[in-house]
Structure 1
């Protein structure tokens, strides 16, 4: 929830064919992430394949970005793009590394591209439009070139949230495809200055509306808007989409699935930097002695770096970065609501979030979720999705839970409460921050009680 001046990237054109053919590509399989109750390894292997664009010498990855308050979003000059095929010839995922300022904390940021029946493309949450990013699309997707003359133009570019880390790429990406329509989530805002979208390079955009049957993609993709102006300094807004043919749910930050292993797009250097015992580790070591030892490049240290990254992303100030494995194990490999989103946003407006979740699960028969961060696609059922939000029922009270029409929903609520009981020691910093923000009026207290 940050904002600052967005610096557009230089404009690139797709490379000529002879240059594209000289690019180096490699391929390796990637399994779809599944909850244990829905694990289907053979189907996962068939559904998801990884294609890494690796232009010789790292060329085509330049993107200048030094914006973001209070911390700019890295990498500042170089962003590698990876592509995954989530549904054969229909849905592709493009990922880049995104770092928090000058820290060693990184995660992946994801753009989802859906091929519509028209042959055009629906681009969800665009990422930095580096030359490599455009080149991957242009070169490797069969019948999916992002150039109008080749028959598969970008028709729609969609910003599904207010969040700065997704907003800053919409303007530069849309300039690559000026014929595309730009659609944005309602109630856009920024902080510390509430700047208009035009300041971010987004012009002539249209606003996404809740359950809009007049949207040009409505026959194939449905949408539901969560808009919560009551949260505090600015509204929390997220638009969920449902691709009917593939039964795929697209969200931005509503839920996540932390994988055991780090995403491919996070660099080795970032992982090893996080594995070093720096100041953050010394402050968050539970008083234990922190050894001063060099970090060698091996699988163990890369994994330690990933676990430390995850805990800092989820909790801001976890209890023990020196030995992160125990807390990481409790937070990984399951569908959850991020502790930050749960504490600072969803817990403030449980009625609105519950209504949004119920409408999603009642109207859409999805079996796959694609969030904008961490693992994707996630093969889950609607009941798994509901379970991740079981903590809402605690906030809404027993009368609301009892009024729900199904015993299975009540059971899922109980499972969800257990799954949302994050490690208390790790939650201490986040809880203190929440109390401070409430005390200064930056966010509001929980809005309890359903309107009669």
Structure 2
């Protein structure tokens, strides 16, 4: 749901613009109607392909929509847009990259800078000095939490009442809530470096799980082949670093795990353990079985 709440306000801020959304919106944990997600009544369904569109966007854009069904009641969609004049591919969730330096927008906006310093803390009430290293530390931790929820190679979760007992007024927000502790700088740097691989493209582990379920892999590869026909030289994902200097072959390589038939990632195996346990345990009812096996990472730490 949180991925969609900004769409409605954005559409209402530009009432004279045509507003499109992919046609099979799905929200988790509750699959709510589009109106509950804030999508305005004038929302138009995005055609599955630029070849089926009405020639909108002045002929400058082409697009292909990925639609997969990872489970009995769920859908996942992504949309790739190719801007011909600039040779740029726009993508939503199917591909990411991150380097050690936080994106400029996070250091230019006060609210985002507060978030970097909030996550740079080692103790709940710590006031972190605003330094380049503190910003990088906060960014590393945000990336690890964003990708893995519980990056257990680098952090120890505490979901009991202990963190709540430490709450009191705190200038960076949330009462200083900290339901985990970081093991060491060395452990978190190793986990981040495994994820980042020097800024090489990858995908969210939860997205890889989705794309490996049922017939999703075959549908994804067909979409990848359609996207590869465009002559792009850079990719702008919706999250993390951008732009990325990548062409069609590098884009396709991100999805090579499907052809290899193995659900492997370059990340620390401990970091994907929570997602693996969830997909094989409490959430197993909601997804089809994968022919690629469960998500497996690489050994990290001692």
Out of 219, 229, 232, which is 2:59 matched to? 219
Which residue is equivalent to 2:80?
A: 240
Out of 150, 162, 174, which is 1:317 matched to? 150
Between 1:292-301 and 1:211-220, the stretch displaced more is: 292-301
Which residue is equivalent to 2:194?
A: 330
The secondary structure found in structure 1 opposite 2:67 is strand
Q: Is residue 347 from structure 1 mapped to residue 212 from structure 2 by the alignment?
A: yes
* 1:373-398 deviation line (CA, Å, top 9, x unaligned): 111111112121112111111228xx
| Residue ranges of structure 1 left out of the alignment (5+ in a row) | 4-163, 280-291, 397-416
In the alignment, the residues of structure 1 paired with residue 41 and residue 137 of structure 2 have an alpha-carbon distance, to the nearest angstrom, of: 43
In the alignment, the residues of structure 1 paired with residue 259 and residue 123 of structure 2 have an alpha-carbon distance, to the nearest angstrom, of: 40
Say whether the 8 Å CA contact 1:350–1:447 is kept in structure 2: no
* 1:168-227 deviation line (CA, Å, top 9, x unaligned): 222222222222111110111334443322331411221112222424237221111111
User: What does 1:168-317 correspond to in 2, within 5 Å?
Assistant: 168-199=5-36, 200-211=38-49, 212-217=52-57, 219-266=59-106, 267-278=112-123, 295-317=128-150
Say whether the 8 Å CA contact 2:68–2:211 is kept in structure 1: no
Bigger radius of gyration, 1 or 2?
A: 1
TM-score (norm 2): 0.75
| Residue ranges of structure 2 left out of the alignment (5+ in a row) | 107-111, 156-181, 293-302
Cα RMSD for the two superposed structures: 2.3
Q: Is residue 425 from structure 1 mapped to residue 264 from structure 2 by the alignment?
A: no
Out of 220, 234, 251, which is 1:368 matched to? 234
In the alignment, the residues of structure 1 paired with residue 123 and residue 55 of structure 2 have an alpha-carbon distance, to the nearest angstrom, of: 50
In the alignment, the residues of structure 2 paired with residue 294 and residue 206 of structure 1 have an alpha-carbon distance, to the nearest angstrom, of: 47
Give the deviation of 1:294 after TM superposition. Answer: 5.8
Out of 362, 368, 377, which is 2:243 matched to? 377
Which residue is equivalent to 1:117?
A: none
Equivalenced residue count is 249
TM-score (norm 1): 0.51
Say whether the 8 Å CA contact 2:194–2:266 is kept in structure 1: no
In the alignment, the residues of structure 1 paired with residue 270 and residue 28 of structure 2 have an alpha-carbon distance, to the nearest angstrom, of: 30
| Higher RCO (C-alpha 8 Å, min separation 6) | 2
In the alignment, the residues of structure 2 paired with residue 213 and residue 172 of structure 1 have an alpha-carbon distance, to the nearest angstrom, of: 25
In the alignment, the residues of structure 1 paired with residue 269 and residue 91 of structure 2 have an alpha-carbon distance, to the nearest angstrom, of: 27
In the alignment, the residues of structure 1 paired with residue 141 and residue 279 of structure 2 have an alpha-carbon distance, to the nearest angstrom, of: 22
Please state which structure has a larger fraction of its residues in helix. 2
Give the deviation of 1:311 after TM superposition. Answer: 0.8
Residues 215 and 192 (structure 1), Cα distance of their counterparts in 2 relative to 1, 3 Å cut = farther
Q: Is residue 445 from structure 1 mapped to residue 289 from structure 2 by the alignment?
A: yes
Give the deviation of 1:268 after TM superposition. Answer: 2.9
In the alignment, the residues of structure 2 paired with residue 240 and residue 202 of structure 1 have an alpha-carbon distance, to the nearest angstrom, of: 23
The secondary structure found in structure 2 opposite 1:335 is coil
Residues 386 and 257 (structure 1), Cα distance of their counterparts in 2 relative to 1, 3 Å cut = same
Residues 437 and 347 (structure 1), Cα distance of their counterparts in 2 relative to 1, 3 Å cut = farther
In the alignment, the residues of structure 2 paired with residue 229 and residue 381 of structure 1 have an alpha-carbon distance, to the nearest angstrom, of: 27
Say whether the 8 Å CA contact 1:250–1:371 is kept in structure 2: yes
* 1:306-347 deviation line (CA, Å, top 9, x unaligned): 11111111111112133311111122211111222112x112
